[in-house]
Structures are given as structure tokens and as C-alpha cells.
Amino acid sequence: MTHNVVSVSGGKDSTALLLLAIVQEVPNLQAVFADTGHEHQQTYDYVNYLAQATGVPIRWVKADFSEQIARKRLYVDTKWREKGVPDSIVEQALAVLHPTGIPFLDLCLWKGRFPSTKTRFCTTELKVNPLIEQVMLPLMDEGGMVLSWQGVRADESLARRYLPKCDEVGGGLFNYRPILRWKVADVFDAHHLMGIKPNPLYLQGAGRVGCMPCVNCNKDELRQIAQRWPEEVDRVREWERLVSLASKRGCSTFFSAVDDPTYKEGDIITHENYGIDRMVEWSMTSRGGRQFDLTRIFADASSCSSIYGLCE
Ligand code: SF4
């Protein structure tokens, strides 16, 4: 028996992927959406629309960090105290170290930091692991072959250009990338031919959908998000406050503060002075504004370089 598992992100490529699977009438089709808890509401609505419009149910999976947070509480309460971390820092960490049920936030509370372009643990923890643990492994246990359909295209990034169309992971699990050679126009054609609307965020100017914002977002994307959906910035600002409380240093910012070239050694970094608002302020500047080194802050700025196609 062959299981066909299509990873849906709410973006254009994974939608085209699902439509292709439907047209090809593949057997044992399952569509799966990994919810990070950091998507725009319109993406959540779109995933529901897609299931209703195609007639293919889309299963939502979520990472759960309750156990990791419980272990961290214990660690903070014992090891941090033994290491001489001030009681006030310990108490403020213990006060926020409770699972919220929002995967992205809980991951950051557990780690005491946000992911970054250089340490991008979010894709693995929030998307790859839940899909493998909750979907792929149970299917592999049933026996037969599991095809993991991934909506990656070669022209999206260097990392994706040389991927094979199909490769074996092991244990009967295969990565399958049937739209690898498709152009972006092919992707939207597939929507049109099947009578499926694209995610409305594209029509509002978004170049990509997915985490709002993504740690890999570029300057224009950040400006657009701040201008169009300021509530997303408000949410990240509040997350910076909470994750800072869970951090031993008492500070964590969504974008890495030390990559800011205006940072001076000795500056005290807080989420208030180096947090999301500072980056939003920068995103509003033109060439004459305060300049950051884009290549350091937003590596692979055009897209997330995940080869799994789980992040657009
Ligand atoms: S979209 Fe960006 S922030 Fe979200 S999981 Fe992927 S790489 Fe991380």
C-alpha cells in the first residue's frame, strides 16, 4: 500500500501540490497542515477554505512543548539557583514558564530565545517533527510506502535547485517533489484551472505567506506586515516580553540584536530598545535611512531555505 501525504502550508506552492495530487487521483491521499501558532488569521481561514473547496480534509498537527517546559521549570528552580542566578530572574522565569498552547511561543519559552537565520530550529521543531511523529511514523508502522509530497520548486533558492525529484529517507518513507521544475506561473495556473482562489494575502501584496513574520523575512516584507497588519507586530512585541522573562539573560528579541550594525559593544540590550519596534522603524527607512547589513540580518532573504518546502 502507498500512502500519499501532502504537506499544506496555506501558500501557493503547497496548494498547487495538493491540486496535482487530486487531479492524479493518487490513492490514500492525506493532506496535513502543521500549525505554528504564528500564522496570519487569513492563512488559517484559507486552509479551511481549501479543505472545503477541494473536498479533501486537511488534518492539523501541532507541536506540544509541555514536557520540555516542565523540565525547564525544574532546571530553572534548581540549577539556575545553584549557579547563582538572582532570585528575581528565577522567579520571573518560573512565572511565565507555563505552556500557552501556541507552538511558536512555547518553543521560544522553552529555549529562552527566538530562532534566527543562523539557528533556525523553528522549522524542525514546529513542522518537521510534528509531521514525522504524528503522521509519517504511524503510517510507516502500518507498512507499505509513504510518499511525503513537498511543494518545493527549484527556482526558489540555491538549496532547492539541486534537489532530486524523489529520494528515500528510509524505512519506506520517500520525499517526493513533483512540482520541482514548475515556474511560479504554473503554480497560479493550477489554482485557476481547478477554480481555487489563492491565499488572499498574495492579493494584498504579500510575497510569501507563513509565519508572520518569518525570521527570514526581508525589509519590504517587514514593512508591509507592520503597515497592513500592525496587530502581528503587537503580538510579537508581547512575545518578546514573555520570552525575555524566560531567558537567563532577561532579554530576547525576535530578530538578533547583535546583528544590528548600530549596536555598540557595552550597549545594554533589552527587548524594548532592540526589539521588533526597532526593526519595524528601520523597515520604514529608504536608502538614506539608518542602514543595516541585510546579508547578516536576513540571510537568504528571498525565501526560507528549508529544503522541505514546509516554510514558503
Ligand atoms: S516560516 Fe520562518 S519562522 Fe516560520 S517556521 Fe519557517 S523558517 Fe521558522
At 261, is the pLDDT very low, low, confident or very high (cuts 50, 70, 90)? low
User: Are residues 151 and 57 part of one domain?
Assistant: yes
Does residue 210 form part of some domain? no
At 298, is the pLDDT very low, low, confident or very high (cuts 50, 70, 90)? very low
- 160: containing domain: 2-63+122-203
User: Are residues 285 and 173 part of one domain?
Assistant: no
Q: 210 and 311 in contact (C-beta within 8 Å)? A: yes
User: Are residues 136 and 7 part of one domain?
Assistant: yes
Mean pLDDT is lowest, of 89-93, 216-220, 229-233, for: 216-220
pLDDT at 307: 45
Q: Which residues contact 153 (CB under 8 A, 6 or more apart)?
A: 13, 160, 179, 180, 181, 182, 183, 184, 187
**How far does Cα 36 stand from its chain's mean position?**
6
User: Are residues 155 and 41 part of one domain?
Assistant: yes
User: Are residues 239 and 255 part of one domain?
Assistant: yes
Q: 181 and 174 in contact (C-beta within 8 Å)? A: no
Summarised one tens digit per residue, pLDDT across range 28-49 is 999 999 999 999 999 999 999 9
Does residue 138 form part of some domain? yes
pLDDT at 264: 73
Say which DSSP state 155 is in: G
User: Are residues 287 and 147 part of one domain?
Assistant: no
User: Are residues 287 and 223 part of one domain?
Assistant: yes
Number of structural domains the chain divides into: 3
Does residue 214 form part of some domain? no
Q: 7 and 150 in contact (C-beta within 8 Å)? A: yes
Does a cis peptide bond (omega within 30 degrees of 0) precede residue 57?
no
Atom of ligand 1 nearest to the CA of 126: 5
pLDDT at 23: 97
Does residue 89 form part of some domain? yes
Backbone phi and psi for residue 205, each to the nearest 5 degrees, phi listed first: 105, -5
Mean pLDDT is lowest, of 210-214, 216-220, 295-299, for: 295-299
User: Are residues 138 and 52 part of one domain?
Assistant: yes
Ligand 1 center to 104 CA (angstroms): 9
Summarised one tens digit per residue, pLDDT across range 134-175 is 999 999 999 889 999 999 999 988 888 889 999 999 999 999
Does residue 112 form part of some domain? no
CA distance 84 to 173: 48
pLDDT at 132: 94
SS3 216: coil
Does residue 104 form part of some domain? no
User: Are residues 184 and 138 part of one domain?
Assistant: yes
Ligand 1 center to 124 CA (angstroms): 9
pLDDT at 292: 47
- Please give the average per-residue pLDDT across 45-73, as a whole number: 98
Mutational pocket test of ligand 1: of 119, 276, 311, 312, the residue with most ligand atoms within 8 Å of the beta carbon = 311
Asked whether the predicted pLDDT for residue 296 surpasses 50, the reply is no
End-to-end alpha-carbon separation of the chain, Å? 30
Could you tell me the three cell numbers for 234? 503587537
Q: Which residues contact 120 (CB under 8 A, 6 or more apart)?
A: 215, 216, 306
User: Are residues 127 and 50 part of one domain?
Assistant: yes
> Last residue of a domain, which of 203, 227, 244?
203
Q: Which residues contact 6 (CB under 8 A, 6 or more apart)?
A: 14, 17, 18, 21, 29, 30, 31, 32, 149
Higher pLDDT: 215 or 65? It is 65
Q: Which residues contact 265 (CB under 8 A, 6 or more apart)?
A: none
CA distance 186 to 302: 19
Does residue 108 form part of some domain? no
- The residues lining ligand 1, judged by C-beta closer than 6 Å to any ligand atom, are 36, 115, 120, 122-123, 126-127, 210-211, 214-216, 304, 311
Q: 115 and 252 in contact (C-beta within 8 Å)? A: no
CATH number of the CATH domain containing 12: 3.40.50.620
Could you tell me the three cell numbers for 86? 538572582
